[in-house]
Structure 1
Amino acid sequence: MYLRLKKLFSESSIYAVGNFLLRSFSVITMPVFTRCMPATQYGILSIVRTVRDLGSVLYEAGTSASSMRFYYDCRDSEDLKRLFSSLFFFTTTFSLACSLVLLTVGNFFWSRALKDIPFHPYGSLTVFTLLMTSVGILPRTIFRALGQARRFVLINLLQALSIVLLSIILVVAFDMGALGPILSTFIVSCVFYGVFLYYLGPYLSFSFSWKIVRQCLAFGLPDSPVRFGNWALKVANQLILQYYHPLAIVAVYSVGFSVGHILFDVVVTGVHWAFLPFYYETAKRETEIEAKEIFAYVATYDFILISFLTLFTIFLGRILLLVFASSLYEGAEPIVTVIALSAFFQFLFFIPSRGIYVVKKTVYMLPLLLITVAVNLGLGFLLIPHYGVSGAAWATLIAYMVRCFLTLFVAQWIYPVPYQYLRLAKATFVLILLLAAGSRLSGLPLPVEISVKLALLSMFPVLLFLLGFFEKQELARFRLQTRTLSRRVLMFLPGQSGGSPN
Structure 2
Amino acid sequence: MSDATQALHKIARGTGIIFAGTVISMFFGFLSRAIIAREFSTSEHGVFNLALTVLSIALVIATLGFQNSLPREVAFYKEREASRIGSLISIALAIVLLTSLAVTLFLVSGSAFIARIFNEDRLIYALRIMSLALPFSALTGIFIAISQGFGRVRERVYFQNILYSFLWFSIVGVTVLLKLKFYYIFIAYVMAQAVTLFILTFDMFRIKLIQLESVDFELGKELVRFSIPLMLSGIAGFVMTWTDTLMLGYYKSSDVVGLYNSASPLAKLLPVFLGSAGFIYPPLATALYAQGKVGELKRVYQILTKWIFLLTLPIFAMMFLFPEATIGFFFGAKYVSAAPALQILALGFMFHTFLGLNGLSLVVIGESRFVMYSTLISAVINVVLNALLIPLYGIEGAATATAVSYFVTNVLNSLRLYQRTEIHPFSWNYVKPLVVSFVLLGVIKRLNLRVAGIWYALPILVVFLGVYFFLVLLSRSVDKEDVELLLAIESKVGVDLGIIKRILRRFV
The reply to whether TM is greater than 0.5 is: yes
Among residues 319, 324, 331, which one is paired with 1:313 in the alignment?
319
8 Å Cα contact 2:37-2:331 kept in structure 1:
yes
Secondary structure of the equivalent of 1:222? helix
How big is the shift at 1:213?
Answer: 1.5
Matching of residues 228-307 of structure 1 within 5 Å: 228-265=235-272, 267-284=273-290, 287-307=293-313
8 Å Cα contact 1:314-1:340 kept in structure 2:
yes
8 Å Cα contact 2:132-2:190 kept in structure 1:
yes
Which whole-Å CA distance do the structure 1 matches of 2:483 and 2:69 have between them?
A: 39
- The answer on 1:485 being equivalent to 2:491 is no
Which whole-Å CA distance do the structure 2 matches of 1:108 and 1:152 have between them?
A: 35
TM-score w.r.t. length of structure 1: 0.89
8 Å Cα contact 2:356-2:425 kept in structure 1:
no
- The answer on 1:41 being equivalent to 2:44 is yes
> Per-residue CA shift, 1:217-243, capped at 9, x if unaligned?
222110112111211111211111112
Which whole-Å CA distance do the structure 2 matches of 1:364 and 1:250 have between them?
A: 32
- The answer on 1:471 being equivalent to 2:479 is yes
Matching of residues 4-153 of structure 1 within 5 Å: 4-74=7-77, 75=80, 77-104=82-109, 106-153=110-157
Give the number of equivalent residue pairs. 486
TM-score w.r.t. length of structure 2: 0.88
8 Å Cα contact 2:374-2:412 kept in structure 1:
yes
Matching of residues 210-221 of structure 1 within 5 Å: 210-221=217-228
Amino acid at match of 2:477: F
Secondary structure of the equivalent of 1:417? coil
How big is the shift at 1:68?
Answer: 0.8
> Per-residue CA shift, 1:319-351, capped at 9, x if unaligned?
321221121112112222111111112334652
Which whole-Å CA distance do the structure 1 matches of 2:497 and 2:419 have between them?
A: 49
> Per-residue CA shift, 1:439-465, capped at 9, x if unaligned?
123244547654333311222222212
8 Å Cα contact 1:222-1:366 kept in structure 2:
yes
> Per-residue CA shift, 1:125-155, capped at 9, x if unaligned?
2321112222112321233233432343111
8 Å Cα contact 1:256-1:321 kept in structure 2:
yes
Secondary structure of the equivalent of 1:72? helix
Secondary structure of the equivalent of 2:36? helix
| Residues 42, 481 of structure 1: alpha-carbon distance in 2 compared, 3 angstrom cutoff | closer
8 Å Cα contact 2:67-2:142 kept in structure 1:
yes
2:460 corresponding residue in structure 1 = 452
Give structure 1 stretches of 5+ with no counterpart.
490-502
Which whole-Å CA distance do the structure 1 matches of 2:420 and 2:488 have between them?
A: 39
Amino acid at match of 1:313: M
- The answer on 1:399 being equivalent to 2:405 is yes
8 Å Cα contact 1:352-1:411 kept in structure 2:
yes
| Residues 472, 362 of structure 1: alpha-carbon distance in 2 compared, 3 angstrom cutoff | closer
- The answer on 1:205 being equivalent to 2:205 is no
2:506 corresponding residue in structure 1 = none
8 Å Cα contact 2:64-2:231 kept in structure 1:
yes
Bigger Cα displacement from structure 2, 402-411 vs 278-287: 278-287
8 Å Cα contact 2:51-2:123 kept in structure 1:
no
Amino acid at match of 2:139: V
2:336 corresponding residue in structure 1 = 330
Among residues 154, 159, 162, which one is paired with 2:167 in the alignment?
162
Secondary structure of the equivalent of 1:469? coil
| Residues 148, 466 of structure 1: alpha-carbon distance in 2 compared, 3 angstrom cutoff | same
RMSD: 2.6
Matched-pair identity in %: 17
Amino acid at match of 2:76: D
How big is the shift at 1:253?
Answer: 0.8
Matching of residues 155-194 of structure 1 within 5 Å: 155-156=159-160, 157-177=162-182, 179-194=183-198
How big is the shift at 1:354?
Answer: 1.9
8 Å Cα contact 2:270-2:312 kept in structure 1:
no
1:498 corresponding residue in structure 2 = none
How big is the shift at 1:34?
Answer: 1.8
| Residues 473, 100 of structure 1: alpha-carbon distance in 2 compared, 3 angstrom cutoff | closer
Which whole-Å CA distance do the structure 1 matches of 2:340 and 2:351 have between them?
A: 19
Runs of 4+ in 1 over 4 A off after TM superposition: 447-450, 475-484
How big is the shift at 1:479?
Answer: 8.4
